[in-house]
Amino acid sequence: MKRTIRTTVFTVGALIAAFGLPAGTAHAGTTAPRVDLRVLVVGDGGPATDAIAAELDAAGTPYTEIDLTQAGRPVIDGGFLADTVDGRPRARYQAVVLPNDNPFPAGSTEMAALAAYEQTYAVPQVDAYTYARPEAGLQYPVHGGYSGSLDGVRASVTTAGRAGPFGYLDGSVPFEDNDPAVGESYAYLSTPVAGADFTSYVDAPVPGRATRGSLVGEYRHDGRRELVVTFVYNRYQPQFRLLARGIVEWMTGGVHLGASRNYFAVHVDDVFAADDRWNTALNCTPGDVDCTDPNAAPDPIRMTPADVDHAVSWQQEHGLTLDFAYNGAGSVDHREDHDGADPLADRLIAGRDAFRWINHTYTHAFLGCVQDTSVVPWKCATAADGTTRWVSRNEIADEITANRVWGEAAGLPLENEELVTGEHSGMKVLPQQPVDNPNLAPALDDNDITWLGSDNSREPEQRSVGPATTVPRYPMNVFYNAGRAAEQVDEYNWIYTSRAQGGSGICEDNPATTTCLAAPLEPATGYTGHIVPLETRIALGHVLSNDPRPHFIHQSNLAEDRIAYPVLSGVLDGYAALFADDTPVVNPRMSEIGTELGRRAAWRNALEAGQAAAYRIGDTVTVEAPAGLPVPATLPTGSTLNDAAFGAPYAGLVSGWTPSVGTPLTLTLPASVPAPAVPAPAVSAPVAGAPSAAVTGPAPDTRVPAGVTEQVVSSARD
């Protein structure tokens, strides 16, 4: 079908005058403008702009969002985009994100105002997902290009991309293909129009041809710069997660509020203790309160000294330190049952400095309500007057103190303010215990606990429990009661298949569960063929999402078949194959994670309240924020704060947090960073030789084709 595209062209002077951009003051042409460090995100309900907004949100980068589908939204005109402050021209936004290269109706004054604004202040524009067409610097796909799925394709960062905004990547950008029956990507592959000033940053092979087509590229025209993205994505997909950082750094020039890292921390619970084994005949775990067969004895799983040696060598090979959450009574009981011998504890204590250690309470006791296990599922026991019976303050405090004393006597390098209770007990657990044990907070105060591990599947946000702040932890679907792959597969099949297939029926009762199975996994291949890839993908998704929350497994998973390692290695090996050396995985301990989450929340609250902002004039960035508020920023290497080097290097830039002192913070950029453009004087008529801002007709509909998923949420089981 032939397309007719209507193009309207204005000169820059006429646009500036027509749309009220503040270039006509006495200082215009000589005074450096003020550019606010805020991004304008214009969305249309599609997943691409939503994904970019989510990336800005996670990093703490301020943005203003306009939804084109909402009635009563603000009108984008010159006054909305720019004004003057103290006689100085001010650009209110350092970058503009649009759903495509022009999402407005034909002849739109809003698109014309944006074009004039971008040209006047050298503000870049991201076309979040656009059709490949000459107006975006590309040939139509029918001219030797491609329109369709890229499921399973490995795109590549070009030489220009590596030298530019995507230099933190090693070069490969794999597109996911998790289900052959589901379309997970759609793209337009094309080459630049002859004569266009277009640089491709990410490309992929054109199916059936010996050519490559652009997926992400920069188009320079009419004094404007556009990042042209021609594939659709949502915020969870790995292809976007890999490129998200570069999209933000391109649009901001590497100068913005907010900071991000790729984090991975793994807590191993129940160290020194033993975990009861899944019973494949009973479909439950003898020893647990909900497995009541009197003829079934617990079958414990416990690490050996050889497992400790393997953990040490694995850490050294992968550059990651595991956090061991320990129960001292596990060793005491073992010695009592084995004439004082405990080779596992001896090996762990001898090699204690190879790991980080967290108090997991002495006996792993349940610290919430007193459990009534006479019924399945258990319920909270009640007193004669009907009130809930609670584990006492002294019992909770004794569990914490006894384990701390045991760990200190063993020489474990502890941070005593950290605690993970057994089963995250003491905190509310639905449906049986809808509130915290009222004795928990006082017991935490008795022991100076400030960081308390919680279950992210129950409570994903931090909250206070007395003097402590929670650190949500991701549960991995590598089960605590499985030391062998066959046990893991058997329990997985039980949980995630239908009753007709011999399963529990949980998925029938809870259809939103994302890990349901159409058929049972094969016992011999189900773990490596299905569970490992899925759990690896989920965990790596967290790593790539600037999410510091730790993951947790259990000591049983490091024993026997050592089933945790294929997942953990898959995450780290997969990461290493994708990222450059200057973008390593960050491996924080629990207190550092809690601190990071806490200051993010404080920063987010300050932004929402309008208490924090920043702007740039020339080579100076000024940040205004309340005293004591931690401020995150990302800047080019060589930037300084009060004549001292700012931040820490990561992904080719420097970034970090600095507390506000109540007066404006002044950061200085290196001389090599280009300054914002000085606005040209406004004129009422075209000037000979002046560049023009081409305001093209609206882009064709580029929404996701039917059958291609717009949202894929990956999460572990609650």
| Token pair belonging to 591 | 């207190």
> What are 422-473's pLDDT values in tens digits?
999 999 999 999 999 999 999 999 999 999 999 999 999 999 999 999 999 9
Contact 454, 535 (CB under 8 A): no
Residue 340 makes CB contacts below 8 A (sequence gap 6+) with none
| Token pair belonging to 618 | 């020339």
> What are 630-646's pLDDT values in tens digits?
999 999 999 999 999 99
> What are 27-44's pLDDT values in tens digits?
445 689 999 999 999 999
> Whole-angstrom Cα distance, residue 227 to residue 127?
6
Mean pLDDT, rounded, for 681-696:
45
> Which pLDDT does position 682 carry in this prediction?
45
> What are 486-511's pLDDT values in tens digits?
999 999 999 999 999 999 999 999 98
> Which pLDDT does position 706 carry in this prediction?
62
Contact 304, 339 (CB under 8 A): no
Top pLDDT among 647 and 1 is at 647
Q: Which DSSP state fits 531?
A: I
Contact 639, 647 (CB under 8 A): yes
Whether 13 has a pLDDT exceeding 60, the answer reads no
> Whole-angstrom Cα distance, residue 80 to residue 113?
10
> Whole-angstrom Cα distance, residue 230 to residue 171?
18
Nearest CA to 137 out of 216, 247, 203 is that of 216
> Whole-angstrom Cα distance, residue 100 to residue 56?
18
Whether 686 has a pLDDT exceeding 50, the answer reads no
> What are 142-159's pLDDT values in tens digits?
999 999 999 999 999 999
Alpha helices in 205-258 (DSSP H): 238-252
Q: Which helix (H) or strand (E) holds 13?
A: helix 12-18
> Which pLDDT does position 246 carry in this prediction?
98
| Token pair belonging to 546 | 């600037």
Mean pLDDT, rounded, for 120-148:
97
Q: Which DSSP state fits 128?
A: S
pTM passes above 0.85: yes
Q: Which DSSP state fits 135?
A: G
CATH of region 7-253+676-696: 3.40.50.880
Name all contacts of 317-322 with Cβ < 8 Å and 24+ positions apart: 318/568, 318/569, 318/572, 318/573, 319/572, 319/584, 319/585, 319/587, 320/264, 320/266, 320/568, 320/572, 320/585, 320/587, 321/354, 321/355, 321/356, 321/587, 322/266, 322/267, 322/268, 322/355, 322/356
Whether 677 has a pLDDT exceeding 50, the answer reads yes
The domain ranges of the chain are: 7-253+676-696, 591-668
Q: Are strands 146-148 and 154-157 parallel, antiparallel or unpaired?
A: unpaired
